[in-house]
Amino acid sequence: MPLLALVAISERRRFGTLPWSTVRLAAVAGVFFAGDLLLWHHAIEAVGAGLATVLGNLQVIVVGFVAWLLLGERPSRATLLALPVVLLGVVLISGAIGGTPYGADPGLGVILGLGTALCYAGYLLVIRRGGRDARRPAGPVAVATLFTVIAAGIAGTAYGDLDLLPAARSLAWLALLGITSQSAGYLFISISLPRLPAVVTSIILLSQPVMTVVLSIILLGEAPSPAQFVGVGLVIGGIAAATVPIARIRDGLAAGRAGRAVEADRGRMGS
């Protein structure tokens, strides 16, 4: 919050006060993001960090359908075809099929994970509408973060698990998280995205749920069942089918083969 506030104040001095409509939308986005974080952390308790993160990444599918219902942006045919594949993967992760699943309560974890995806989709859609002024991105994010703090504090008080004085060890982990994943991670993403083709970006971002599952096994000792692993594959594959333009990949591979063929012909002519 202090860093965001400083940047937001600088933006205000240069470009003026944020419109009230932007502030209102950013506040709503902050409430959605609080729901995303709260549900995701409880999903981790129920089904594990790896599977909870896979479920949270369903926001890619959710955003498409919410934008269709509320904004009139019809999802692509690939998104519609990917939906049943993703839903089957979710059923397998829940443990409804395939023997003994991993997690204290995988069924509840799936429900919380889907709630995480819905809340994150709401955050992305609302902050997108409220942050259209590219000159001052920090202002809406600062307002959203403030309301995330308020909403999470209210929910934590009502639920009874709010801890205003965490132990030093917990604070150290939170500081490490803030410096690495939150600050450096988003900085690297913001630097790299403009330099990469959209198709490459889509593929790279799919590495997040994959690596989370791998790291949860290595670092946390989580052991999803074979059926849950199949579910993970279906969910990630469905997300890939909905977001990665297969035609562009095919055209790129064809262009690469054509280029290699031309180079080979030049080599033979030169010899």
- Residue 85, both tokens: 């594949």
37 Cβ partners below 8 Å, 6+ apart? 148, 152
The CA-based angle 35-100-111, given to 5 degrees, is: 15
The string of pLDDT tens digits covering residues 60-79 is 777 777 777 777 777 777 77
The string of pLDDT tens digits covering residues 177-206 is 877 877 677 667 656 655 766 556 656 767
The string of pLDDT tens digits covering residues 132-158 is 666 667 788 888 889 999 999 999 999
- Confidence band (pLDDT; 50, 70, 90) for 218? very high
Smallest CA-to-CA distance from 88 within 209, 236, 211, 205 is with: 236
Smallest CA-to-CA distance from 102 within 206, 209, 217, 236 is with: 217
| 13 or 257, higher pLDDT | 13
> Within 13 Å, how many C-alpha atoms sit on residue 49's CB side?
13
Residue 238 has pLDDT above 70, yes or no: yes
Measured distance CA(214)–CA(89) in Å, rounded: 18
Tallying the residues shown for the chain, one arrives at: 271
DSSP string of 153-179, one letter each residue: HHHHHHHT---SS--HHHHHHHHHHII
**Burial classification of residue 169, based on how many CB atoms lie within 10 Å of its CB (0-12 exposed, 13-18 middle, 19 or more buried):** exposed
Q: Are 14 and 123 contacting, i.e. CB atoms less than 8 angstroms apart?
A: no
Smallest CA-to-CA distance from 181 within 211, 159, 138, 139 is with: 211
